[in-house]
Structure 1
Amino acid sequence: MYDNIQYEFCKIKNIKNTINRLENKNILDEIELFEIKNFAVSSNKIIENYSKLNIKVDYIKYKSVDAIVKLLDPDDLKLTTFQIYGAYSKRLLRIRQNKINIEKTIFSEADIEKIEMLKKERLEIVVQEEQEELKIRKALSEKLYNYLNDINENIKSIGKLDLLIAKANLAIKYNAIKPSINNENKIYFKDLLDPNLERLLSSQGKKYIPISIEIDKKITIISGANMGGKSVSIKTIALNLYLFQCGFYVFAKEANLCILDFIYVVSDDMQDINKGLSTFGAEIIKLKEITKFMKIRDGFVALDEFARGTNPIEGRVLLKATCEYFKKYNSVSLISTHLDDINIDDATYYQVRGLKNVDFEGLKRQIDLKIGNGKNFNSIKLLQEYMDYRLEKVDKEAKVPKDAINICKLLGLDNEIINIADKLSK
């Protein structure tokens, strides 16, 4: 039944302009009458298949449009075509028969003068035909006007059913689950994933690692070194929150979520040259917009490496100030950073595991050996395989892993630069 319904969905066209003309009591042309007939026929087939499903959805209410089909198919031909049928008017039948007769005479006549006279007679008949068809189209338009509410109700219900089936297909395809709902501004995901990223990694022979997170306070901070997956985690969480807010199932094994009035994600390079904005400037403009919403609504705010576009000292101060400000309101905030010493009271801290359990020296020897053997080797790909993107709760005093220099070594940066960096870091 679902396949039959979706097949009929493919036949539904956007007839908004036709409906608007009908609402304004315009006389519809033949194409517009065809559009309404085609919609009515498909509507009836959808209604028939929907009734066989034996399900009841409160907000999906179909109206029978048999009367419309009968009106636009007076000969009961059951064809998805339309013309001004002779059944609408005996006078129209006579006019068309006269036109046929005179056309036969024209084809059989050899005298040029008589042919010209016959053509003039035919033109008069064509005008009569058009006038009669206009009367019929006017009468049909007036009758269809009485069914406008039923047509509009079916348009809305078809759209709702189409979306509902699409949601169900998506949930089945990715084993998505229905989240439970809380009223306590809490967000909990277990084994959360982004299907697009999972598919991409799978195509590259890589394994996708789901994340789990519980945001039970106003401020949650994710720390970790660069390339550790903080941005991916934030976008994955935001994606699933958006889906939940729109009535979709989410891509996780478990989820307990709260209803949000808004979702804001400030991430990546937000600079806008056309507006004369740097990345930092764009972040501040967006933050200004967020603070206005936070004062009147409760939502979700994600800041990915906020203030990365300014120096670390001022960036740390601004980040701490923003966190303290967010604590005054009821919105839930998720903030990623690679900066140490944020130390926000009453905040929950997570850290990306990253490369903290990796033997860098052993991994470097492995890379050097493969390169030394002349192999076409991608060290970034190997690095990604060893990266652990899972989140784990930590104390606020936990230091962010200092993996930058080690990553530089693994990626083959000039040893002279690395040696200088080692000396400066000590």
Structure 2
Amino acid sequence: MIFLDKDQRHQVGYSFIIDRVEVITPFGEDLKKNIAPYKPKDKDALLMELSNIEKITTTYKEKIASYRAMERLLSKIKDIRTSINRCSHLNTLDEVELFEIKNFCMISEELYSIYKEFNEEICISNISFNTLDRVLKLLDPDNKKLPTFQIYDSYSTELKAIRFKKRQLEDNILASNDEDEICTLKEERLKWVILEDEEELAIRKRLTEEINIDIKNLENNVYSMGKLDFLIAKGKLALNYNATKPEISDKMEISITNSFNPEVQHILEEKGKSFTPINMCLNSGVSVITGANMGGKSVTLKTIVLNLLLGQLGFFVFADHAKFPILDFIYFISDDLQSVSQGLSTFGAEIIKLKTVIEHAKIKNGFIALDEFARGTNPKEGSFLVKSLCEYLNTLTSISMVCTHYDNVVNEDMVHYQVIGLKNVCFDSLKRKIDLNRTHSIEIIQEHMDYRLEQVSSSNRVPKDALNISVLLGLQEEIVNIAKKYYYGNPYSNNEEEYHGE
């Protein structure tokens, strides 16, 4: 799947979001279920969708009575698409189907009346309701405006006469005490019942043919109800999370300010913690995020992927500001448990996916996200492979984002972000806190970890959070001293200032 498969969408938090898109109608539910990304040629349609959502978010509170009236009517809608399809093929409708179409028309006419007045001010594009007054009159010949249906006498003088004769026979049956006479009357009544069934069938056939004339209007209103339902749900989602209308660029550039991932935010809030907003500016080529494994690189990647995906699907995004193009694809490569269960190693699964990604990236423009690529092989080879991959991705028009804990994989012509981590923390103070409460050492480190990103340059060297975390968690000093030899080439130095807080 070019825009993430089901498991990947769940992994980045899309399932969490789509479950909170509260559509009301079966038609809206289908639109939500079958939502597809906009293509570059559909830019005008995407801009219209985003504009419609914006109109809803800016008027929902002001026009709450109108919105609630429309939502109340939408909640009464039953799925009549099977009946519409049968009618379009002139398959004679039964009484239940005719009742459901009548009820649909009654709701549709009421909704049409509210929406028409409402939309004169709001001006939502690409949604229009057609009047179904002719169908309603057809199914309500006595103009009683009741949510019921039967084959009325007024449909046919012959039917009326048949039913009159049948009722006379039924009265005679009830009045008679003669078993032979009753038997004769019942046989006579049966003949009239058959005639009644035949006449009702003829009437239902005629009604089906008459409704068929308005089949396009029925289909249009089904679509418009679903579209209106889905748009309102998108607008309410945006309001609930203070989401933002993204700016659609014609260039291969991505900028996103104070973005967040609602699922991760929800999990953190349940623990009494807060989400650190993410700021990124990306262009064609590769951008690399480095930092220790506890630094939140994967959350950053998932947050960017989620918001890009939502933008391609016509949603507002979870950020203060966002700008990106319409993409041909979004690929996200991380742990592939499904492929592993099918007999491939994690690394093997990554390579199989990567081949597909590269082939697409040669001919189309999209977004490629790699989370700790090559972690399933030995570190030395892994760093070589990641460095090689970054060099290649940097030659493409597509935008790539690579999160890795490998060091020395970034060339000068690449954009390099680093998780700030423990860089600005008072190391001695943090160490004392941990020494006093060893059982909660991980939680204490996480509380002091700065998950923000900063762009790396020659003036702000990469901090060694992995070594710092090892010291904080009490790794034996002998091992730390050996590690310092490989970090700084001095196996005898005990100066902690060389590694913590650098």
Answer yes or no: is the 8 Å Cα contact 1:270–1:283 preserved in 2.
no
Post-superposition shift, 1:273? 4.1
Amino acid aligned to 1:32: E
C-alpha distance 274-209 of structure 1, shift in aligned 2 (>3 A): closer
* Alpha-carbon distance in 2 for matches of 1:352, 1:126: 82
- The match for 1:106 is 173
- The match for 2:390 is 323
Amino acid aligned to 1:44: E
Amino acid aligned to 2:155: Y
In structure 2, list runs of 5 or more residues that go unmatched: 1-65, 486-502
Post-superposition shift, 1:381? 3.3
* Alpha-carbon distance in 2 for matches of 1:145, 1:408: 75
Amino acid aligned to 1:211: I
* Alpha-carbon distance in 1 for matches of 2:294, 2:149: 62
Which SS does the other structure have where 1:22 is aligned? helix
Post-superposition shift, 1:400? 5.1
- The match for 2:363 is 296
- The match for 2:117 is 52
- The match for 1:157 is 224
Amino acid aligned to 1:43: S
Amino acid aligned to 2:75: C
- The match for 2:446 is 384
Alignment of 1:127-142 (within 5 A): 127-142=194-209
Answer yes or no: is the 8 Å Cα contact 1:26–1:141 preserved in 2.
yes
C-alpha distance 424-117 of structure 1, shift in aligned 2 (>3 A): farther
C-alpha distance 124-361 of structure 1, shift in aligned 2 (>3 A): farther
- The match for 2:288 is 221
- The match for 1:250 is 317
Answer yes or no: is the 8 Å Cα contact 2:284–2:396 preserved in 1.
no
Post-superposition shift, 1:209? 1.4
- The match for 1:4 is 69
* Alpha-carbon distance in 1 for matches of 2:148, 2:471: 71
Superposed CA offset, 1:109-152 (max 9, x none)? 33333333333223222211111110011000101111111111
Amino acid aligned to 2:322: A
- The match for 1:34 is 99
- The match for 1:87 is 154
Post-superposition shift, 1:406? 4.7
C-alpha distance 353-154 of structure 1, shift in aligned 2 (>3 A): same
- The match for 1:374 is none
- The two structures have a TM-score, normalised by structure 1, of 0.90
Answer yes or no: is the 8 Å Cα contact 2:374–2:382 preserved in 1.
yes
- The match for 2:274 is 207
Given candidates 232, 242, 257, the residue that maps to 1:175 is: 242
C-alpha distance 133-314 of structure 1, shift in aligned 2 (>3 A): same
Which SS does the other structure have where 2:370 is aligned? strand
* Alpha-carbon distance in 2 for matches of 1:114, 1:331: 90
* Alpha-carbon distance in 2 for matches of 1:42, 1:176: 32
- The two structures have a TM-score, normalised by structure 2, of 0.77
- The match for 1:422 is 480
Amino acid aligned to 1:204: K
Superposed CA offset, 1:323-379 (max 9, x none)? 2222332111011000001023421110111223334553343244346xxxxx644
Answer yes or no: is the 8 Å Cα contact 1:271–1:281 preserved in 2.
no
- The match for 1:97 is 164
Matched, 1:123 2:181: no
Amino acid aligned to 1:422: V
Matched, 1:395 2:457: yes
C-alpha distance 213-85 of structure 1, shift in aligned 2 (>3 A): same
Given candidates 261, 265, 268, the residue that maps to 1:198 is: 265
Alignment of 1:350-389 (within 5 A): 350-370=417-437, 378-389=440-451
Structural RMSD (CA): 2.3
Answer yes or no: is the 8 Å Cα contact 2:311–2:317 preserved in 1.
yes
Post-superposition shift, 1:405? 5.3
Post-superposition shift, 1:419? 4.7
* Alpha-carbon distance in 2 for matches of 1:339, 1:173: 39
Amino acid aligned to 2:448: Y
